[in-house]
Amino acid sequence: MNDKRGLPRIVVTFGTRPEAIKMFPVVAALRETGRLDVKVVVTAQHRELLDSVLALAGLVPDVDLDLMQPDQSLDALSAGIIARFGAVLDDLSPDRVLVHGDTLTTMMASLACYFRRIPVGHVEAGLRSGDIYSPWPEEVNRKVTGVIADLHFAPTETAAAALRAENVNEKGIHVTGNTVIDALLFAQGRIAADPSLAPTIAPLQQRFAGKRIIAVTAHRRENFGTGMAEIAKGLQDLARRKDVAIIYPLHPNPNVAEVMRPALAGYDNIALINPLDYLDFVAMMAASDIVLTDSGGIQEEAPSLGKPVLVMRDTTERPEGVAAGTARLVGADAAVIVAETNRLLDDPEAYRQMGTAHNPYGDGTASRQIAALLSGPF
């Protein structure tokens, strides 16, 4: 439905912090065209983590479904998204919907669009690990979305090739780079202009002066249980080094916190801190020497800052980083995590090779490219 100015209406939807980080530059670029009526609908499947990014971007959702519930099952969240988002579609009658990546919001919003024959554009399309249970449930979320979408904004040529291998129409595939680089450049600019916007990390840098800083994030479902215990053991072993300090923003999920707090709380050189807003998170990556993560997006962000990334997963849907040498898979295996981290700490040439490898994820213009593609004829 066109708005009162006769502009095509696009609904942009997301529900988690990583999606918000990667989509706020897209929303800004779409609005800057002046040729589209852009509505933002958040499901808030991650409430507090999402809100900090919305505040940073100055983005006020047109609709906030506020769906987050403690210990919510995938079934319940999926049902809530498709029913509530479907009602929003009926109310707004958009000409197109933009989704991002691989969350339940992505898949269920796409299904709601399909039921109404509303075209879907998929930002960060084409990522594939080849294993539907790793990452779980993200691999199936994005595959289902890829079947429904008619426009696929692939971050790399590798992602575009994965779509072609699934017989996606070539005309709908556009290689744009990853919008996370757009967000990262925005964040770096804000911090450079006003360092007080990232207040958490500077005191930790002072506390750990003279030490090699390892930034850690670990929260993926497939690592719950044994995987988290192995990661905790690996961090305990690394913390025995006197030249190392670890900064670990703990995810609020009890499957993470209830393992990590008792295992790591007694170490003077481990800072277990609350989840960081995006500017502090970028500051943490910039201050670190090595990044240990089971996250997806950090595999893209950290190399832009020249930081080697050890990925605590057995597979990755971002093979470009591994191929380029900016990232290495170490699994959720304490012995491998420790061995590979020590190699980077003790071998300057190994560190240099990973830290200076080419970042394959774009130049910070992805959002403007997407906006240019969408602001033409529908």
> pLDDT tens digits for the chain (378 residues)?
555 568 999 999 999 989 999 999 999 999 999 999 999 999 987 787 788 899 999 999 999 999 988 888 999 999 999 999 999 999 999 999 999 999 999 999 999 999 999 999 999 999 999 999 988 999 999 999 999 999 999 999 999 999 999 999 999 999 999 999 999 999 999 999 999 999 999 999 999 999 999 999 999 888 999 999 999 999 999 999 999 999 999 988 899 999 999 999 999 999 999 999 899 999 999 999 999 999 888 999 999 899 999 999 999 999 999 999 999 999 999 999 999 999 999 999 999 999 998 888 988 999 999 999 999 754
What pLDDT score was predicted for residue 5? 61
Catalytic option among 102, 280, 294, 301? 102
Question: Is 152 noted as a catalytic residue in this protein?
Answer: no
Question: Is 142 noted as a catalytic residue in this protein?
Answer: no
Please state the φ and ψ torsions of residue 152, each to the nearest 5 degrees: -125, 110
Looking at the fold, whether 38 and 160 belong to one and the same domain comes out as yes
Question: Is 138 noted as a catalytic residue in this protein?
Answer: yes
What pLDDT score was predicted for residue 376? 77
Looking at the fold, whether 93 and 127 belong to one and the same domain comes out as yes
The count of structural domains within the chain is 2
Catalytic option among 9, 47, 190, 221? 221
Question: Is 221 noted as a catalytic residue in this protein?
Answer: yes
d(CA 300, CA 331): 18
The enclosing domain of 291 has a CATH number of 3.40.50.2000
On whether residue 2 sits in a domain, the answer given is no
Name, in order, each residue with C-beta under 8 angstroms of 321's C-beta and a sequence gap of 6 or more: 299, 300, 303, 309, 327, 360, 361
Q: Locate tokens 């961090």: which residue?
A: 235
One DSSP character per residue, 266-285 reads: T-TTEEEEPPPPHHHHHHHH
What pLDDT score was predicted for residue 171? 97
Looking at the fold, whether 257 and 154 belong to one and the same domain comes out as no
d(CA 98, CA 110): 9
Question: Is 240 noted as a catalytic residue in this protein?
Answer: no
Positive or negative torsion for Cα 356, 360, 362, 366: negative
Looking at the fold, whether 103 and 218 belong to one and the same domain comes out as no
On whether residue 193 sits in a domain, the answer given is no
Looking at the fold, whether 274 and 297 belong to one and the same domain comes out as yes
Question: Is 219 noted as a catalytic residue in this protein?
Answer: yes
pTM for this prediction: 0.88
d(CA 168, CA 163): 5
Number of H helices, E strands in the chain: 16, 13
On whether residue 224 sits in a domain, the answer given is yes
Domain that holds residue 212: 199-355
